Structure 1
């Protein structure tokens, strides 16, 4: 049974944002919460794709393991994010391994239940397509950033996404450790340290997990500076 707070979090997700209340209640009645401890694996690359998920609390990382054994972080999702929709609807196997970065609570939705709802009410397809498109857009932006931006610009983009304001000064807390942030941004930990050092000129100072930014607008200008 979901609390009101958990229900509100589920409704904020891209997966359920456009689902009518009655349809959502029917879907959630056949779903259940799953607790995953920090460091535990939710599923591994190659497992049958039988469920899709919404993060009610905590944070998870989606990873792929290269033939050489290197871990590549595909995405990091936190409270209110959803994942697993596209592959679960398509069928087949999960293309990634999902591991909890923090103690997490997930809403686990069985694919069979979604298919049954789609047959009786095709309006759900709009929400599914919206969610899938959102994740596709994120991946396209990730590829663009990796190819077009320097390490310092990628880090600045990440900090901007965490900022509680659109302009002016702010303070923020890094949501997970710097090793994971480096992997998330496609760089090594030492490169992340250099990128933080480079951002000092842009008014960014960091102490452990705390970051102070003199002016978010200045960071945005730095990211968009082709020079």
Structure 2
């Protein structure tokens, strides 16, 4: 199901608070929205497939999406996206095929924009081009954090770093958040088995990070950060408009 967008009256204030639009003049924001559509997809829908042309850029308005590399009956989780995240941007800007597939982990609402239209608007407007560069910078930094975690941290340290970033990026307070995706997908994203995730959470509970069902609570942040070898450089990129984990 798709709905055309033409401005605040149909798109809603939430669209104009998104990082891509918030720094733009109303004229520029409406020019982008005039070429976009709101799209609804069911849980488990494949939004795009690995190797397919990146002809659309998506902004996740509601729900959760996983970027994953599908391989027959198995898959390898790459990144977990939440409300406000832009995805397919790098491939769309460079007109390259998708390196991963995107799957809806819940019913989702997406803002979809043709890649060609976004490239045209970026070439016409330095403000739009700069906003896209900032977003791509945030996504690059997020990917670099993933590599650092995989190469430099143990499984339990990766789990702790992931949940602390989740609390920082999406938490309802400084020490609480709700996990909106299955733990099996967290394990896939971190490159560990569900059993290793369970053992790691048991270890982290003793340090001060407690996960019970979907509820996450940090009781001793300093101890968890010390255990995970985190520094002031190990935060997330929410300030750059990237909430992906």
TM-score range, shorter chain: 0.7 to 0.9
Structure 2 residue 219 is matched with structure 1 residue 214: yes
Show the counterpart of 1:223.
228
Matches within 5 A, 1:67-146: 70-146=74-150
Q: CA deviation at 1:152?
A: 1.3
Deviation digits for residues 45-89 of structure 1 (CA, Å, limit 9, x no counterpart):
1111111111111110011134x7541111111101111111101
Change in Cα spacing, 1:61 to 1:149, as seen in structure 2 (3 Å) is same
Q: CA deviation at 1:33?
A: 0.5
Report the secondary structure of 1:65's partner residue.
Answer: strand
1:7 to 10, 15, 22: 15
Show the counterpart of 2:159.
155
Show the counterpart of 2:182.
177
Q: CA deviation at 1:200?
A: 2.3
TM-score by length of 2: 0.82
Distance 2:67 2:225 in 1: 27
TM-score by length of 1: 0.88
Gaps of 5+ in 1: none
Change in Cα spacing, 1:17 to 1:184, as seen in structure 2 (3 Å) is farther
Query: Does structure 2 conserve the Cα–Cα contact (< 8 Å) formed by 1:55 and 1:78?
Result: yes
Deviation digits for residues 23-48 of structure 1 (CA, Å, limit 9, x no counterpart):
11100011000101111111111111
Distance 1:72 1:180 in 2: 9
Distance 1:63 1:19 in 2: 32
Query: Does structure 1 conserve the Cα–Cα contact (< 8 Å) formed by 2:161 and 2:230?
Result: no
Query: Does structure 2 conserve the Cα–Cα contact (< 8 Å) formed by 1:162 and 1:172?
Result: yes
Show the counterpart of 2:243.
none
Q: CA deviation at 1:180?
A: 0.4
Tell me the number of residue pairs that the alignment of Structure 1 and Structure 2 aligns: 219
Change in Cα spacing, 1:184 to 1:5, as seen in structure 2 (3 Å) is farther
Q: CA deviation at 1:116?
A: 2.4
Distance 1:26 1:180 in 2: 37
Show the counterpart of 2:53.
48
Q: CA deviation at 1:117?
A: 1.7
Report the secondary structure of 1:224's partner residue.
Answer: coil
Query: Does structure 2 conserve the Cα–Cα contact (< 8 Å) formed by 1:17 and 1:127?
Result: no
Matches within 5 A, 1:48-67: 48-66=53-71
Deviation digits for residues 191-227 of structure 1 (CA, Å, limit 9, x no counterpart):
100101111220233322223321222212221279x
Distance 2:201 2:110 in 1: 33
Distance 2:62 2:35 in 1: 20
